[in-house]
């Protein structure tokens, strides 16, 4: 029975991801439900062709990217004990806030590593590229160096970026990008040069609304089966 339920979960998650994939890569125009009238090469292998009026840019040109602080367990003058997130806390779409750890930060570090609402959090190790959108689940929280935080510039809607980055990861593109010795790591140097495609801001909002509407029932079913 459990095995059958797990298979159903896999199929539902695949169905949800397929809806996301088609919308954020321009395979379907969410305003018409049909392909766009004209496409052009994106120059990005995993993306293929994109709608003619979409843009392609490197991540460093659409968001500020910060890798978290190295672990510091000892107290010093001018340092304050604060909660922080590790890679294990970063789950798909939403942070897992069980066993949130604490370490010491200086005031300058607090300014740099504090997570703000609508920041994208990306796992640097473990399941590389696993990502979620921060919604101030904890009033004051920071990141360790197993997590990147991306603060989107005004040209990018954070939820659209999250869906787009999820698609990049699920398609396996990061597997050929990450540094490997024994464990895969997504370094900041590798992250900043990755490319994404995006339409005008108002269309990003339409794509987000479309995805949320189309996947709401699927998400509710997934949650019910998991419970």
Structure tokens that stand for 18 in this block: 């397929």
Alpha carbons 48 and 28: distance in angstroms, whole number? 14
Quick: pLDDT tens for 80-106.
999 999 999 999 999 999 889 999 999
Q: What confidence category does residue 219 fall into, taking pLDDT thresholds of 50, 70 and 90? A: confident
Enter the tokens of residue 197: 């495609």
Residue of 198, 190, 197, 156 lying closest to 174 (CA atoms): 190
DSSP 8-state secondary structure symbol assigned to residue 115 = -
Model pLDDT, residue 182: 52
Q: Which residues of 173-202 are buried (b: 16+ CB within 10 A; e: fewer)?
A: bbeebbeeeeebebeeebbeebbbbbbeee
- The pLDDT value recorded for residue 176 is 67
The stretch 210-227 carries a mean pLDDT of: 90
**Average pLDDT value for residue range 154-160:** 97
b/e map of 6-37 (b: 16 or more CB within 10 Å)? eeeeeebeeebbebbbbbbbbbbbbeeeeebe
| Residue 226 burial (C-beta neighbours within 10 Å; 0-12, 13-18, 19+) | exposed
Per-residue pLDDT of 173-214, as tens digits, reads 887 677 655 567 888 999 999 999 999 999 999 999 999 999
Percent of the chain clearing pLDDT 90 (strictly above): 77
């Amino acid at each position: 029975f459990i095995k059958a339920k797990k298979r159903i979960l896999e199929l539902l998650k695949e169905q949800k991801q397929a809806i996301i994939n088609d919308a954020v890569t321009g395979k379907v125009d969410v305003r018409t439900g049909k392909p766009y009238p004209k496409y052009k090469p994106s120059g990005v292998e995993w993306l293929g062709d994109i709608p003619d009026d979409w843009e392609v840019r490197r991540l460093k040109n659409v968001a500020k990217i910060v890798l978290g602080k190295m672990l510091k367990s000892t107290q010093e003058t001018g340092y304050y004990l604060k909660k922080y997130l590790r890679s294990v806390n970063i789950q798909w779409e939403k942070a897992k806030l069980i066993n949130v750890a604490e370490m010491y930060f200086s005031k300058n570090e607090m300014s740099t590593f504090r997570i703000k609402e609508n920041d994208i959090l990306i796992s640097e190790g473990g399941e590389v590229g696993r990502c979620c959108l921060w919604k101030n689940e904890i009033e004051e929280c920071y990141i360790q160096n197993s997590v990147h935080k991306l603060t989107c510039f005004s040209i990018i809607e954070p939820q659209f970026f999250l869906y787009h980055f999820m698609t990049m990861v699920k398609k396996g593109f990061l597997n050929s990008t990450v540094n490997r010795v024994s464990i895969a790591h997504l370094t900041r140097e590798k992250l900043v040069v990755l490319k994404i495609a995006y339409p005008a801001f108002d269309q990003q909002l339409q794509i987000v609304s479309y995805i949320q509407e189309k996947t709401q029932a699927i998400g509710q079913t997934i949650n019910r089966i998991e419970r």
